[in-house]
Structure 1
Amino acid sequence: MADVFRGLNLLETLKESIENNKLSDVKDAVEDLLISRINLAVVGDRGDEKASFMNSLRGLGPGDEGAVPSPSPVAPEEVAGYPSPKHPDFRLWDLPPVPTMSPFEPEGYMDRVKFFRYSAVFMAFTQTPQLNSAEVFLEARSLQRQIVYFVLLASVKDTEKSLEDKKKTSLNMLISHGLTQPKVYLVRPSTLEKFDFPDLLADLSNNLPEIRAHSLLLALPTLTSTLVTQKKEAFKALVWAAASLSGGVSAIPVPLVASMVDSSVAVRILTKAQLSLCLDDESVERLARQRGAEPAQLKGMRTCVLSVDVTKGEVKKRLAAAEKDLAAASSKLLEMAMPRHARSASRSFAAMLQALNGAIDEMAADAEKIVTVALGGGK
């Protein structure tokens, strides 16, 4: 189903599926977003910078459980996988460096590491990319697989001037090797919000099928306030889809859809939101350690009860309160928001939409406060 979403706005696509009575497609999209199946691979020498980069993508520090160790215990030619501790279907793969031998056949290396099974591949380096890495990039492009990105990892010894020189040298090398308008993204592994990582994430999101781009967005740690906002909007699309299933099930019975239409769906969505926004105790404590903030201070910023703990009792209470409030809502406004086939079941649609959107807003506001303080050094 993922290819259906390439280049399209997720919410608009979901609405189109609902209007065409393709409820099973919407259910699949909801499941895809909740499961977050995504695989990213990082090619390059196994050193501190690469390990730190892979850990930061999963919200981990070097001493955290499940972190990529440095030096790596993995054999030089082996591939190692590292799942996200909070999103086990989001996995980082540590690929060995591209061989420097000449002549070099990129197909052999790509087959050996199963290059095209990954959603995207980062060709990471700390000086300049290897010539054979450019060959791998060109081979991927010739096969119309735009999933490869050159990433210059900054070390603790690098200065702003040395990084500028490395990036310029790398671009010139890639151009001389036949790449037209190449991009090199400068990334500081320990603080991904710096330098070019936001641009890398934006380009990656544009190149991935949209359902996969949203899955990646939900699995990444809350690195910036912008990511918090993007996560909130993605969850609101997910809420709309779930509410549409809830509102439409009585009008158009579809196998397997009925099992989703109860408070357990809301619990799943809000639990995913809590983990995605890094609001659970473990994520907040980890963020505090990484950024030198006080854990108790960050935890105290969670004013929404669902930010602290998502319980079925709290979710049911919110759904019941939303349904009670519907009598005061404008039926005309509700009709404009809901899909045509669900209007006969408007109460169910509107209650879930109102309750979950309100919860997402509250949780995102908490995440925004935490990120702002943590990135400000705890001030």
Structure 2
Amino acid sequence: MADVLRGLNLLQTLKESIESNKLSDVKDAVEDLLISRINLAVVGNRGDEKATFINSLRGLGPGDDGAAASPSLVAAEEVAGYPNPKHPDFRLWDLPPVPSTSPFEPEGYMDRVKFLRYNAVLMTFTQTLHPNSVDVFLEARSMQQQTVYFILLSLEKDTEKSREEKRKASLEVLTSQGVAQPKVYLVRPSTLEKFDFPGLLEDVGRDLPEIRAHALLLALPTLTSNLVSQKKEAFKALVWAAASLSGGVSAIPVPLVASMVDSSVAMRILTKAQLSLCLDEESVERLAGQRGMEPIRLKGLRTCVLSVEVTKGEVKKRLAAAEKELATVSSKLVEMAIPRHARCASRSFAAMLQALNSAIDEMAADAEKIVAAALGERK
């Protein structure tokens, strides 16, 4: 998922929009990146493992507000929704298990749970995959929904041998029903950084439309250093888009418009970055509790002011400082980044690009330190 915007040809599209003075197109691109929604569904029996998996995807523990309960408080045949208060563009849905009855009609189940409305569906199980679930998978494929994945959730009592036996048996079920190149991802619900979950994210990110992959990437908790790096690169693409908008607006001779746009958009980007990188107070305290650590230890790793709190004063201060330091920015670099007809706007573009990229780098460095400490890694 590192190259989440690859299919958009984002930079080239923005350059062409600026060159033809289509500022509304640039603004729409920024909004799409800031507010890109995704609906992720999790299918399977409602036990401890599924509840833990759903909570882990949202960065929650079993005792946190809004966490999925086990045993479930939802009726067996109902669909339960789990909104994310920090990321309203990410909505997780708990779907009932695929019936094990025979005969079985996958269309009936899919209609009942509105299967095709979800951007991606994770079909979970803890033992051997049931053939009816494969029927649903095949039906989804026949309807051009490619983002359906089989997830073997590891039980606490499972051994390496028992896990591999379950995976092998499930692959045989898939093969016997005609699934070409079958894949089963092994996931430990309580610690998603283990086993196959990072590989699952890469595959989901490759299969989803880029804007949806972007939304999923930014909404997931910072599970690994690699995920932090991917988030940083995604935010830098967003910064480029916002800086391009700033440069375009600056070309219009309306006093103070550019500076207002700069600080307003910058606030939105950096606030989203703080939440996405899990640097806010609540996220750091929650992570410390999940890892059995003192919150003050993790909080002390935040050396960037913006990691602690994103304020309008700090954002304006950084934008102003970048303006003063423009002499250090290579004019050749600016020329490469901005189309010829928009060079008059290069000062605003370069200032915003420099200020926000520097801030994103600092915040990502703090996130990497926190993840390393929480996972017991050494830099």
Q: Which residue of 1 aligns with 2:60?
A: 60
Q: 2:375 matched to which residue of 1? A: 375
For residues 246-283 of structure 1, what are the alpha-carbon distances to aligned partners after superposition, in whole Å with 9 as ceiling and x for unaligned?
10124479xxx989823011000000000000000100
SS of 1:69 mapped into structure 2: coil
Letter in 1 for 2:213: A
TM-superposed CA distance for 1:12, in Å, is: 4.7
What residue in structure 2 maps to residue 272 of structure 1?
272
Structure 1 residues 334 and 277, CA gap change in structure 2 (3 angstroms) = same
Query: 1:53·1:189 contact (CA, 8 Å) conserved in 2?
Result: yes
How far residue 31 of structure 1 moved from its aligned partner, in angstroms, is 1.5
Letter in 1 for 2:96: P
More displaced, 119-128 or 97-106?
97-106
Aligned: 1:366 with 2:366: yes
The equivalences for 1:236-247 within 5 A come to 236-247=236-247
Map 1:1-379 to 2 at 5 A. Answer: 7-15=7-15, 17-19=17-19, 21-251=21-251, 261-376=261-376
- Is the 1:244–1:339 contact (alpha carbons within 8 Å) kept by the matching residues of 2? no
After TM superposition, give the deviation of residue 212 of structure 1 in Å: 1.0
Secondary structure in 1 aligned to 2:180? coil
Question: In structure 1, what residue type is equivalent to 2:131?
Answer: L
Distance in 2 between residues matched to 1:107 and 1:9, nearest whole Å: 37
Determine the C-alpha separation between the residues in 1 that align with 2:335 and 2:109.
56
The C-alpha deviation readout for 1:152-189, integer Å capped at 9, x for no partner, is 00111111111111101100111111111111000001
Confirm or deny: 8 A CA contact 2:329 2:350 kept in the other structure: no
Residue aligned with 1:66, SS: coil
Q: Deviations 1:23-75 (Å, cap 9, x if unpaired)?
A: 33332232222224111000010011001111111110111111011100101
RMSD: 2.1
- Cα distance in 2 for residues equivalent to 1:377 and 1:64: 26
Measure the CA separation in 2 of the matches of 1:67 and 1:377.
Answer: 28
TM-superposed deviation, 1:104: 1.4
Aligned-partner Cα distance in 2 for 1:86–1:378? 29
Answer yes or no: is the 8 Å Cα contact 2:36–2:211 preserved in 1.
no
Query: Structure 2: how far apart are the matches of 1:278 and 1:187?
Result: 22
Counterparts of 1:9 and 1:199, CA distance in 2: 24
Contact 2:319 2:352 in 1 (8 A): yes
What secondary structure sits across from 1:235 in the alignment?
helix
- CA shift, 1:10, in A, is 4.4
Q: What is the CA distance between 1:113 and its match in structure 2?
A: 0.7
Question: Residues 17 and 192 from structure 1, CA distance in 2 versus in 1: closer, same or farther, beyond 3 angstroms?
Answer: farther
CA contact (8 A) 1:152 1:167 kept: yes
SS at match of 2:151: strand
| Alpha-carbon distance between aligned partners in 2 of 1:72 and 1:99, rounded to the nearest angstrom | 18
SS of the residue corresponding to residue 137 of structure 1 reads helix
- Structure 1 contact 244–342 (Cα < 8 Å) conserved: no
Cα distance change on mapping 1:131 and 1:13 into 2, 3 Å? farther
CA 1:73–1:375 in structure 2 vs 1: closer, same or farther (change >3 Å)? Answer: same
CA contact (8 A) 2:89 2:215 kept: no
Report SS of the residue matched to 1:92: strand
Distance 1:9 1:129, change over 3 A: farther
Name the TM-score, length of structure 1 as normaliser. Answer: 0.93
Q: 2:98–2:109: 8 Å Cα contact kept in structure 1?
A: yes
Q: Percent identity?
A: 82
Does the aligned pair in 2 maintain the 1:188–1:195 contact within 8 Å? yes
Give 5+ residue unaligned stretches, structure 2. Answer: none
Alignment CA distance shift 1:29-1:44 (3 Å): same
In 1, Cα distance between equivalents of 2:19 and 2:222: 34
Residues in 1 aligned to 2:20 and 2:131: alpha-carbon distance in whole angstroms:
50
In the TM superposition, residue 332 of structure 1 has moved relative to its aligned partner by: 2.3
Give the conservation status (yes or no) of the 8 Å contact 1:185–1:197. Answer: yes
Cα deviation, residue 9, structure 1: 5.0
Q: Which moved more, 1:135-144 or 1:339-348?
A: 339-348
| Cα displacement (A) at 1:13 | 4.7
CA apart distance, 1:19: 4.8
Quick one: structure 1 residues 94 and 132, their matched pair in 2 at CA, closer, same or farther if it must change by over 3 Å?
Answer: same
Aligned partners of 1:81 and 1:91 also within 8 Å: yes
Distance change in 2, residues 1:293/1:252 (3 Å): same
Tell me, which stretches of 5 or more residues in structure 1 are unaligned?
A: none
- Measured after TM superposition, the shift of residue 339 of structure 1 is 3.5
d(CA) in 2 for partners of 1:165, 1:15: 53
Contact 1:36 1:218 in 2 (8 A): no
User: Structure 1 residues 12 and 215, CA, compared in 2 at 3 Å: closer, same or farther?
Assistant: farther
Amino acid corresponding to residue 181 of structure 1 in structure 2: Q
Report the TM-score, using the length of structure 2 for normalisation: 0.93
Q: Provide the C-alpha distance between the structure 2 equivalents of 1:130 and 1:151, rounded to a whole number of angstroms.
A: 12
Shift of 1:147: 1.2
